[in-house]
Structure 1
Amino acid sequence: MATGKKTNQLPPPASRLWEAGIRKLKYSTILRGSVSSSTKSNTIYQYNDDDGDDTDSVLDDNDTDDDEEEVALGEPSHAEQLLPSGDFYQGDLRGELPHGAGKYLWTDGSMYEGSWRRGRASGRGKFSWPSGAIYEGDLDGGYMHGQGTYIGELGDTFAGLWANNLRHGRGTQAYDNGDVYDGHWRDGLQDGHGRYIWRGGHEYIGTWKAGEMHGRGTVIWADGDRYDGAWEDAKPKGQGTFRWSDGGMYIGLWCQECGETQARGVYYPPSGGPAVPVPREPKEEITKLLEELEMCEGKTASLLPSQKVVTWPGVDPVMKKPVWRPPEVGADQGRRHAVGRNSAPTSLDLKASAFDPKEKVWTRFPPEGSKNTPPHQSCDFRWKDYCPLVFRTLRKLFDVDPADYMISICGDDALLELSSPGKSGSFFYFTNDDKYMIKTMKKSEVKVLLRMLPAYYKHVRSFDNTLVTKFFGLHCVKITGAIQKKVRFVIMGNLFCSNYAIHRRFDLKGSSHGRTTDKPIDQIDETTTLKDLDLNFIFRLEGAWQVDKDCELLEQERIMDYSLLVGIHFKDQCKDIKAPVKLGISMPSRVESVVKNPDSESLFIGDPTGEFREVILFFGIIDILQDYDISKKLEHAYKSMQYDPNSISAVDPKQYCKRFRDFIYRAFTEDVQ
């Protein structure tokens, strides 16, 4: 099958040879226990603010004071020393070991210049090989460990996180042949969520495992064709959709038979006509693509020039345990613990004490494990559950099966990271089954959620059809030790988790300043989030809904700057699919096209055209954790001097609520057909 050939003939990533060589690196020296090491770890946690009540940090019993260590090493001195091996050292010493700033030259022409600790390169430094390759960044225990940049002799570069001379964590690799990978790594291989761009313009966005495309992912060819679906060992396997650039589509199950990719499904013509069982064969297009890909087969990639570790003769290197950014290793262990520790509540009636902001449970996760926690490969961290009984009861209220929730949140599949963080600086992740979204939070947002939690719980219990965001858990990961870092995050429902494809999406606030997309019309696709001034439809709903009740809750809690997120599935573009209907989820509707009237006083809803399309709607109220604090009041005062005060988003919650409801009721009207 042509579509199978196309997905089967993707050029192998230029990283393959790099990975094959780097996996074979073996270090001849190991820690023998004669030399102790510091416990410093390098992380890329986004937030470094601290709760006032969390000062009881936990340290390892064998941690030693830096000053006492340095005294034990001996008196400081400076030396220029030629070693018996012919190597040369110039720099600071403590006793007989390099400690401080120093430069070390090997007889083969390699050189390290930077920080030393107890005879090992530790801290910031620069290592250069005779071939011209360079590494500049963090080192620890003699290894490249932490944030650093490597430039190879052929011009290939890697900028990101390292662990024991291997790429490990988030980083970007630019290969010498022009390919680029940006995403997560583990033990030198792509692992987690990442984006690979071939020099020919093709790209893959999705999950990786051990250096291969594995899990959910999307390939977009340079000509606009694309495949969305499941992957296994760099080949399509499972449910997937192949779309031609002209709108034709093939939906089916993909598998490997006799070494070739095969698919069984249904082809949909671009005109929206009836489905036929046999897909078209774009032979000419596929032939050209295969010829192009064959030219990529012989590409090479450079390896690290040597297995060298940077230590003083006689001093063993110390391999450090890598630290992954949450919500990965630390957060994954914590989520498993939080979800699996307690059974589901038997009653929906909660005491006031359950909502107390001080109602939280701290659990320590040492790397070696404990009576209540499993061993792990991260550093020592602590996990906090906020109001655990409340969120367990909310999950029961939302009809979430505990076993399914455990599999979604704590399964072996990697989380999918959104390609770009939100304007607030938060990072967003999706579970592999698309059911849940995980968002990192600022401390102020956590306080708002805890403050409004009693009213939120009462509201969602009273109104089954509420449109406000569903919250399933609120947690915090805290790295313990001398440098304490925190990441707080909330687990929410994914509004667009459905078998329906979302063809258009809008983020609607009811304000006009800056409320338009910055993309040209020809670049707008189904992933583009359009805004108020881009709205070119009136939504005709079947039945009533409860925006008033939800807005009353938000106004009561002094919340503003929220949005109505709307997803549209056009029924004439795909075969009809049966799905359960609930307010805001899989709602059958009609949309009427509108055109902007330049003579109208309103910038928003245009004039109806009488052209209708059958659609399925998904919508809900999101971003409900911004209160009208001092920063928003200052923003309102500043922007009011430059723009119409009624056009900006930062307004008093009462005014925001009225404007939001007025706009939504103009955009959504009851269908009277």
Structure 2
Amino acid sequence: MAQKKAAGTSNSATRRRWWNLRQQWRMLGVFEINPEHEFYQLTSMIKEGMHASCSFTPDFFSYYHCLTLALQGFVMQTFAAPVFAKLRASVNITEEEYMNSLCSDGCYLQFVSNSKSKADFFVTNDKRFFLKTQSRREVRFLLSNLQAYTDHFEKYPHSLLKYFIVMQSVFYPDERINIRYDIKGCEVGRWTDPDKEGKQIIKVLKDNNFEGQYIELGQEKSWFAHQVKVDTAFLRELNVLDYSLLLAHQPLHRDELEGKHSLDRSCPVSDAIELQEFHEHHRRLLPNFQNAVHVIDGPHCRYFVGIIDIFTIYGMKKRLENLWKSLRYPGRAFSTVSPTKYSHRFCRWIQDHTQ
């Protein structure tokens, strides 16, 4: 009898914790996609398709081609699986971790923010990966430039460009993050009122909200500014504009500060030579952290950074938008400008706001 009572108490406590977690997700703009949710069938098909695709080893696929799998009631197409597997491995994401996150028994989550994008955003149950719906044009652009992207990533293994259909979340883990920014380096339409839009939406603040603040990186400033310059130069070559820097920060704990300081101590000559060679290949020492490729530790804060939304081409539609905004906002900085001007302005913002 006592055992049954204890079990009942335990189950009750578990239900309370689960209910509190669901309430917390709702307050953060993250909603569980349970069987009653409008996207449940879609995400179930995504999960089933991902499970079927992940069941094959990358060697099974043609390197840059598509494999079509006919499943129960839908078709799953996987593009260039070995390429993406190689990219995941380069940032220390094992295939087991990838499959466990995307194909777990836990429901996906719907991410709701104040973004103007018409895309739907889903998050794996552990919040490690984002899934974003893409237009056919965006997919074609991605695949046509995949070789150039992989070449860029091999040359600059700590590039901030990491975002495709399944995206490693910049803000992972997010337990200590309460403010997020989306930076484009301009002023028109770049303000979010923190007190509006309701508590059930994740507020992503913008350039004008960041006024008077700085990204304080200390000795990491030069690396960060250089990597942003290299990444935006690559996007400029692809004729891309309108990308953003995702940014969040949190104070370093004492143990994190102590661990960081231990890296600053003098090292043997052999280690110093190896470290020099490391930097010569555009690499950097990373903090001991789950999502280290998107993390930069400054003297006092840990910053989460990443460049996203890299699919907008400066074609005729954007050229006409540029002309219209030039007439409407004379002398003001708006987002729709040539890729050359956009990248230069973006880098200047980073330089002016980093210490």
Aligned partner of 1:623: which letter?
A: D
* 8 Å contact from structure 1 (residues 344, 393) kept in 2: no
Q: Give the structure 2 partner of residue 530 of structure 1.
A: 205
Among residues 626, 638, 642, which one is paired with 2:324 in the alignment? 638
Q: Give the structure 2 partner of residue 567 of structure 1.
A: 248
Aligned to 1:423, the other structure's residue is in SS state coil
The whole-number CA distance in structure 2 between the counterparts of 1:560 and 1:646 is 17
Q: What are the superposed Cα offsets for residues 201-230 of structure 1, whole Å, 9 maximum, x if unpaired?
A: xxx9xxxxxxx9569533499xxxx899xx
Q: Give the structure 2 partner of residue 481 of structure 1.
A: none
User: CA 1:645 to 1:555, structure 2 compared with 1: closer, same or farther past 3 Å?
Assistant: farther
* 8 Å contact from structure 1 (residues 344, 392) kept in 2: no
TM normalised by structure 1 equals 0.41
The whole-number CA distance in structure 1 between the counterparts of 2:254 and 2:198 is 25
Among residues 57, 60, 66, which one is paired with 1:360 in the alignment? 66
Cα shift at 1:494 = 0.3
* 8 Å contact from structure 1 (residues 448, 626) kept in 2: no
Aligned partner of 1:580: which letter?
A: N
The whole-number CA distance in structure 2 between the counterparts of 1:215 and 1:335 is 30
The reply on whether 1:588 has 2:272 as its aligned counterpart is no
Cα shift at 1:629 = 2.3
Among residues 501, 509, 514, which one is paired with 2:176 in the alignment? 501
The whole-number CA distance in structure 2 between the counterparts of 1:420 and 1:517 is 11
Equivalent residue pairs, number:
301
Alignment of 1:619-638 (within 5 A): 619-638=305-324
Q: Give the structure 2 partner of residue 42 of structure 1.
A: none
Among residues 96, 105, 108, which one is paired with 1:403 in the alignment? 96
Cα shift at 1:570 = 2.8
The whole-number CA distance in structure 1 between the counterparts of 2:336 and 2:178 is 30
The whole-number CA distance in structure 1 between the counterparts of 2:178 and 2:113 is 20
Cα shift at 1:360 = 1.1
Among residues 535, 538, 557, which one is paired with 2:238 in the alignment? 557
- Answer with 1 or 2: which has the greater Rg: 1
The reply on whether 1:516 has 2:191 as its aligned counterpart is yes
The whole-number CA distance in structure 2 between the counterparts of 1:387 and 1:631 is 30
* 8 Å contact from structure 1 (residues 589, 616) kept in 2: yes
Aligned to 2:337, the other structure's residue is in SS state coil
Aligned partner of 2:301: which letter?
A: V
Aligned partner of 2:171: which letter?
A: F
User: CA 1:625 to 1:645, structure 2 compared with 1: closer, same or farther past 3 Å?
Assistant: farther
Aligned to 1:587, the other structure's residue is in SS state strand
Alignment of 1:254-265 (within 5 A): none
Cα shift at 1:523 = 8.2
* 8 Å contact from structure 2 (residues 58, 81) kept in 1: no
The whole-number CA distance in structure 2 between the counterparts of 1:569 and 1:450 is 36
Aligned partner of 2:23: which letter?
A: T
The whole-number CA distance in structure 1 between the counterparts of 2:69 and 2:25 is 43
User: CA 1:220 to 1:411, structure 2 compared with 1: closer, same or farther past 3 Å?
Assistant: closer
User: CA 1:576 to 1:429, structure 2 compared with 1: closer, same or farther past 3 Å?
Assistant: farther
User: CA 1:467 to 1:220, structure 2 compared with 1: closer, same or farther past 3 Å?
Assistant: closer
Cα shift at 1:422 = 4.2
User: CA 1:331 to 1:421, structure 2 compared with 1: closer, same or farther past 3 Å?
Assistant: farther
Q: What are the superposed Cα offsets for residues 127-149 of structure 1, whole Å, 9 maximum, x if unpaired?
A: xxxxxxxxxxxxxxxxxxxxxxx
Q: Which has the higher helix share?
A: 2
Structure 1 residues not aligned, in runs of 5+: 1-7, 13-203, 205-211, 232-322, 368-379, 472-489, 591-613
Q: What are the superposed Cα offsets for residues 71-126 of structure 1, whole Å, 9 maximum, x if unpaired?
A: xxxxxxxxxxxxxxxxxxxxxxxxxxxxxxxxxxxxxxxxxxxxxxxxxxxxxxxx
User: CA 1:335 to 1:618, structure 2 compared with 1: closer, same or farther past 3 Å?
Assistant: same
Among residues 105, 113, 117, which one is paired with 1:412 in the alignment? 105
Larger RCO of the pair (alpha carbons < 8 Å, separation 6+): 2
The whole-number CA distance in structure 1 between the counterparts of 2:96 and 2:20 is 21
The reply on whether 1:218 has 2:218 as its aligned counterpart is no
Aligned to 1:217, the other structure's residue is in SS state helix
* 8 Å contact from structure 1 (residues 511, 647) kept in 2: yes
Q: Give the structure 1 partner of residue 352 of structure 2.
A: 666
User: CA 1:540 to 1:325, structure 2 compared with 1: closer, same or farther past 3 Å?
Assistant: same
The whole-number CA distance in structure 1 between the counterparts of 2:354 and 2:139 is 32
Aligned to 2:106, the other structure's residue is in SS state coil
Q: Give the structure 1 partner of residue 50 of structure 2.
A: 335
* 8 Å contact from structure 1 (residues 421, 427) kept in 2: no
Alignment of 1:440-455 (within 5 A): 440-455=133-148
Which 10-residue stretch deviates more, 414-423 or 547-556? 414-423
Cα shift at 1:500 = 5.2
Aligned partner of 1:497: which letter?
A: Y
The whole-number CA distance in structure 1 between the counterparts of 2:312 and 2:136 is 12
Q: Give the structure 2 partner of residue 428 of structure 1.
A: 121
User: CA 1:635 to 1:227, structure 2 compared with 1: closer, same or farther past 3 Å?
Assistant: closer
Q: Which has the higher strand share?
A: 1
Aligned to 1:364, the other structure's residue is in SS state strand
Aligned partner of 1:363: which letter?
A: L
* 8 Å contact from structure 1 (residues 503, 526) kept in 2: no
Aligned to 2:76, the other structure's residue is in SS state strand
The whole-number CA distance in structure 1 between the counterparts of 2:98 and 2:161 is 20
Root-mean-square deviation over aligned CA pairs? 3.6
The reply on whether 1:459 has 2:142 as its aligned counterpart is no
User: CA 1:498 to 1:443, structure 2 compared with 1: closer, same or farther past 3 Å?
Assistant: same
The whole-number CA distance in structure 2 between the counterparts of 1:227 and 1:423 is 18
The whole-number CA distance in structure 2 between the counterparts of 1:383 and 1:326 is 14
Cα shift at 1:499 = 6.2
The whole-number CA distance in structure 1 between the counterparts of 2:352 and 2:157 is 24
Q: What are the superposed Cα offsets for residues 573-593 of structure 1, whole Å, 9 maximum, x if unpaired?
A: x77557616876443225xxx
* 8 Å contact from structure 2 (residues 113, 204) kept in 1: no
* 8 Å contact from structure 2 (residues 182, 244) kept in 1: yes
TM normalised by structure 2 equals 0.74
Aligned partner of 2:67: which letter?
A: V
User: CA 1:466 to 1:526, structure 2 compared with 1: closer, same or farther past 3 Å?
Assistant: farther
* 8 Å contact from structure 2 (residues 127, 169) kept in 1: yes
Aligned partner of 1:530: which letter?
A: L
The whole-number CA distance in structure 2 between the counterparts of 1:564 and 1:588 is 17
User: CA 1:570 to 1:524, structure 2 compared with 1: closer, same or farther past 3 Å?
Assistant: farther
Aligned to 1:335, the other structure's residue is in SS state helix
Aligned to 1:438, the other structure's residue is in SS state strand
The whole-number CA distance in structure 2 between the counterparts of 1:414 and 1:665 is 41
* 8 Å contact from structure 2 (residues 112, 202) kept in 1: no
* 8 Å contact from structure 2 (residues 113, 202) kept in 1: no
* 8 Å contact from structure 1 (residues 540, 589) kept in 2: yes
Q: Give the structure 1 partner of residue 215 of structure 2.
A: 539
Which 10-residue stretch deviates more, 516-525 or 653-662? 516-525
Cα shift at 1:521 = 8.7
* 8 Å contact from structure 2 (residues 28, 200) kept in 1: no
Aligned partner of 2:318: which letter?
A: K
Aligned partner of 2:106: which letter?
A: D
The whole-number CA distance in structure 1 between the counterparts of 2:193 and 2:187 is 14
Structure 1 residue ranges (4+ consecutive) displaced by more than 4 angstroms after TM superposition: 212-216, 323-327, 521-527, 574-579, 581-584
* 8 Å contact from structure 1 (residues 559, 627) kept in 2: yes
